[in-house]
Structure formats: structure tokens, C-alpha cells
């Protein structure tokens, strides 16, 4: 994954054949036993005050299955 600039904004872009999720968004079950899958995306707009050094602490890049 890489950070690029889109005008004045920063965006996080997944590599080819990969997607990104929040490190805290993991598979789990709700109160009825239904499986909840994490939300994946290929592009994320980052906050203006985002520190590039925090990238691997906040996001995970995984192969598309």
C-alpha cells in the first residue's frame, strides 16, 4: 500500500490484487450468531493530521481471496 496526494488530500491506495481494512475491524459474530465480516476497501482518504509513521498501526493490507 502507498500514500499518494490527491490535491491537498492524502489517500491510501492498496497494491494490485490487495485490499485494506482497519486493524481493529476483524471477523466476529453478532448477538444472534451471525458472522460479521470486516469492511475492505482499495482507497482510503486520510485525515489531514495523519502521521505516515502510524500506517501499519492503523491499517492492514491483505490479498484478495
Task: Report pTM.
Answer: 0.80
DSSP reduced 3-state for 47: coil
Angle at 3 between CA 18 and CA 28, to 5 degrees: 45
Q: Give mean pLDDT, residues 15-24.
A: 96
Q: Is the predicted pLDDT of residue 8 greater than 90, yes or no?
A: no
Cα dist from 64 to 4, 6, 7, 24, 26, whole Å: 21, 25, 29, 18, 15
**pLDDT tens digits, residue range 29-61?**
999 999 999 999 999 999 989 998 999 999 999
Amino acid at each position: 500500500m502507498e500514500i499518494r496526494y490527491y490535491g491537498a488530500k492524502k489517500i491510501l491506495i492498496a497494491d494490485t490484487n490487495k485490499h485494506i481494512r482497519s486493524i481493529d475491524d476483524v471477523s466476529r459474530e453478532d448477538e444472534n450468531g451471525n458472522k460479521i465480516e470486516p469492511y475492505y476497501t482499495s482507497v482510503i482518504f486520510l485525515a489531514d493530521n495523519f502521521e505516515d509513521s502510524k500506517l501499519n498501526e492503523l491499517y492492514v493490507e491483505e490479498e484478495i481471496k
